[in-house]
Amino acid sequence: MINFLILPILIPLITGVLLIFAAKHVMLQRWVAGLSAVLSVIVSVLLVQKVKNDGIQTLNLSNWDAPFGITLVSDMVSALLVLTTSVIGLACVIYSFRGIDEDREKFYYYSAVNFLLVGVNGAFTTGDIFNLFVFFEVMLMSSYVLIVIGGTKIQLRESIKYLLVNVISSALFVIAVAYLYSVVGTLNMAHISARISEISEMGQPGIITVIAVLFLIVFGLKGAIFPLFFWLPGSYYAPPAPVLALFGALLTKVGVYSIARTYTLFFYQDGGFTQQLLTILAVATIILGVIGAIAYWDIKKIVIYNIIIAVGVILFGISAMTQDSLTGAIFYLIHDMNIKASLFMLVGIVAAITGTSNLRKISGLIKRYPGLGWTFFIAALSLSGIPPLSGFVGKLLIIKGGFESEHYWGAGIVLMSSLFVLFSIMKIFINGFWGTPRAYEGADKIPVKSMMIAPVILVAIAVLYGVGSEFVYPYISQAAETLANPSIYIEAVLKEY
């Protein structure tokens, strides 16, 4: 019987290796990458249904049972994020057919994209804390290639900063894992949780709190939370639009997922200090993201700072630790991955048409490109959480969970952030799409219709995700239940141990 659990990792891995040998054959690369992405989406859908019907899926590699061997685990949280990643991967591959130049495609572009998907899907699926580090490194090494392909001055400058930050965070990750192993004597995530629970029955030792903070620093650097987000605006500004869409949708979300997984599975006993710290940092992240989003007149920077706002909103939902807030955090996480990818694609089309991302030099686009304008408008409303689009349900549940946990000030800031997000993103629409049309040199050569295919698909998914929230709610609720009750995860992984 096919184990769908490993296929979303295995398919892009095999594809990435094969495409290395076809580096100069661009059309062949496109076909192989596209078919592989479609296949990944299909197996991810089957995996979600398998988890829904049969519960948490596990796979012990090398025939060693947990907690002694390497275990892959797919609960509903993991399965939904793998599905979202696969859909975004497919959309970015389609967008790359027209959104990136052929010279870049010949430099192992599609191989790097597939290896990045291996890292992301692996991080979502692994049940071993050290292998989470391994998959992080696979993802990061692929991102190093993607951020520098093309060799422009800004890419080379920002890639040095990006590489240094991630090398430091990776070193801290290994240190954090070593400290944790020295205390609990295991690397299996379910077994770690069980061991920490046993230790905490005699009172929470200070070393566990120190390790929790260390992991928050590591994953906070990856996820760009306050005050560790300093590297993100410049690094994400440098690469071309398809790469930016991949980065904006996936990379920070792996850091957010890692915080959610460790803080609900490992460190939930010390709710006083660590959860309060997470709440404060989440709210600070929202505030700093809002300031950046409303201050800039560069369309890329505005959407990039909206990544930071979303990270804060999701982490606030996790820190509240109620069933509603966790449900809302997962709902909003999936929404944000999808809508950020579509927005960066749309911003890439605008920049390609106009030759600039400076909003003061853009106006009147909707007259000539009405499809682009109205697609961006719908995406903007969804990002802002306007009902009945996808951003509304998740944010509503997060705010409700914030009130339930008596974090009234945090819930109020999450609510207010929606207005600022709407202001920042509608600033692009009002100034860039309305007004007097301008003539842009080379605009006729841009294949706007074919570039619009991928973002239109993602925006349509965002609309359906919001309107059909009643259909997807049982899946999200099952995912939140796993986070809220660690015993479900532990029993599924350790079984007879």
Q: Virtual CA dihedral for 479, 328, 43, 33, nearest 10 degrees?
A: -140
In a domain, 412, yes or no: yes
In a domain, 24, yes or no: no
Predicted local confidence at residue 368, as pLDDT: 87
Tens digits of residue pLDDT in 438-486: 887 777 788 888 889 999 999 999 999 988 888 999 999 999 999 888 8
- Distance (Å, whole) CA 480 – CA 482: 5
In a domain, 30, yes or no: no
Tens digits of residue pLDDT in 337-364: 999 999 999 999 998 888 888 888 888 8
Predicted local confidence at residue 321, as pLDDT: 85
Tens digits of residue pLDDT in 48-98: 999 998 888 888 887 777 777 788 999 999 999 999 999 999 999 999 988
Distance of CA 232 to the CA centre of its chain: 14
Helix 206-223 / helix 252-265 crossing angle, nearest 10 deg: 160
- Distance (Å, whole) CA 429 – CA 386: 16
- Distance (Å, whole) CA 427 – CA 237: 19
In a domain, 418, yes or no: yes
Predicted local confidence at residue 357, as pLDDT: 85
Predicted local confidence at residue 339, as pLDDT: 93
DSSP structural state of residue 185:
S
State how many domains the chain has: 1
Residue pair 493/73 in contact by the 8 Å Cβ criterion: yes
Q: What is the mean pLDDT of residues 262-286?
A: 84
Backbone angles phi, psi at 188, to 5 degrees: -70, 125
- What percentage of the chain exceeds 70 in pLDDT? 98
Tens digits of residue pLDDT in 159-205: 888 888 889 989 999 999 999 998 888 888 988 888 888 877 666 67
Say yes or no to pLDDT of 408 above 80. yes
Looking at the DSSP bridge assignments, the partners of residue 128 are: 188
In a domain, 338, yes or no: yes
Tens digits of residue pLDDT in 300-318: 999 999 999 999 999 999 9
Q: Where are the beta strands (DSSP E) in 309-450?
A: none
In a domain, 419, yes or no: yes
Contacts of 371 (CB under 8 A, 6+ apart): 449, 452, 456
Residue pair 391/382 in contact by the 8 Å Cβ criterion: yes
Predicted local confidence at residue 1, as pLDDT: 46
Q: What is the mean pLDDT of residues 419-424?
A: 91
- Distance (Å, whole) CA 312 – CA 291: 13
Containing H/E element for 60?
Answer: strand 57-60
Predicted local confidence at residue 241, as pLDDT: 87
Distance of CA 326 to the CA centre of its chain: 16
Collapsing DSSP to helix, strand or coil, 73 comes out as: strand
Tens digits of residue pLDDT in 1-49: 457 789 999 999 999 999 998 878 889 999 999 999 999 999 999 999 9
Residue 369's region, left for phi above 0, alpha for psi from -120 to 50, else beta, is beta
Say yes or no to pLDDT of 496 above 60. no
Average pLDDT, the chain: 88
- The pTM of the full predicted model, rounded to 2 decimals, is 0.93
Range of the domain at 464: 271-485
State how far the alpha carbon of 218 is from the alpha carbons of 34, 183, 251, in Å. Answer: 34, 18, 14
DSSP line for 297-331? -BHHHHHHHHHHHHHHHHHHHHHH-SHHHHHHHHH
Residue pair 497/65 in contact by the 8 Å Cβ criterion: yes
> Strand 71-74 and strand 57-60: pairing?
antiparallel
Backbone angles phi, psi at 362, to 5 degrees: -125, 135
In a domain, 250, yes or no: no
Q: What angle do CA 175, 176, 181 make, to 5 degrees?
A: 95
CA-wise closest residue to 22 among 139, 107, 136 = 107
In a domain, 133, yes or no: no
Say yes or no to pLDDT of 117 above 90. yes
- Tokens 């929230």, residue? 469
State how far the alpha carbon of 427 is from the alpha carbons of 360, 361, 438, in Å. Answer: 11, 13, 18
Residue pair 128/188 in contact by the 8 Å Cβ criterion: yes
Predicted local confidence at residue 497, as pLDDT: 56
**Residue 64: exposure state from Cβ atoms within 10 A (0-12, 13-18, ≥19):** exposed
